[in-house]
Amino acid sequence: MEKIHYNRQRESIVIASLPTGKRGARKQKILLLKEDFCKNQNCAHINCAKEKIRFDYYFRLISEYHYQVKHIEFDVAIPGSKGEIMADLVVYSDDNKEKPFIVIDVREQGISDMLFERASRQVAAKAYSLHAPYALFLSGKRKRTMHISLSNKERNSIENIVSDIPIAHPKKKD
């Protein structure tokens, strides 16, 4: 498991032990400053319940799903919303961050079933707007992963539930 160090004064996080994938190689160190993960002016303090869930999943995207740090972005504005509607995390399939792959929204643990359903549909709509094939909603340990049909907007999140997001596969070097 990663070691996460939180610096209150700098509002930064250091991940000290992500494996690089090579046996015997040194562990990767990642430093996140508040401006890296909080572009929204109404961003909650880094230590609140929602942010803890968001960071935990961010680290899981890197360590367990093998997505590259440069492919993950915090607080992405949804097109047509004038910057008012944001996705908590977006994983891109390319280095230029032009092709969204997974849109993720997070809420604190313990929300009602009705709010869970509504938030799941909202993240599915955000994924559709960004043309991302996957949407994921997290509320504590509870999650819903959806495959988004980009050709049919009428399909809702309930019909498109999948077990999990895909694991990233590193590109082979010749």
HSE, CB side, 13 Å, CA atoms: give it for residue 90: 27
The C-alpha atoms of residue 132 and residue 167 are separated, in whole angstroms, by 15
pTM of the model: 0.75
- What integer is the mean pLDDT of 84-111? 94
pLDDT band per the 50, 70, 90 thresholds, residue 153: low
Q: Where are the domains of the chain?
A: 37-162
Task: Look at residue 160 in the predicted model and tell me its pLDDT.
Answer: 84
Contact criterion met (CB below 8 Å) for 58 and 90: no
Contact predicate 96/88, CB 8 Å: no
The pLDDT value recorded for residue 8 is: 46
How does pLDDT run across 42-97, given as a tens digit for each residue?
444 455 778 778 888 888 898 889 999 899 998 899 988 776 899 999 999 999 99
Domain made up of 37-162: CATH architecture: Alpha-Beta Complex (3.90)
What single DSSP character describes residue 41? Answer: T
Average pLDDT, the chain: 76
Over range 24-47, report the average pLDDT: 49
CA distance 119 to 106: 9
Query: How confident is the model over 39-44, as a mean pLDDT?
Result: 46
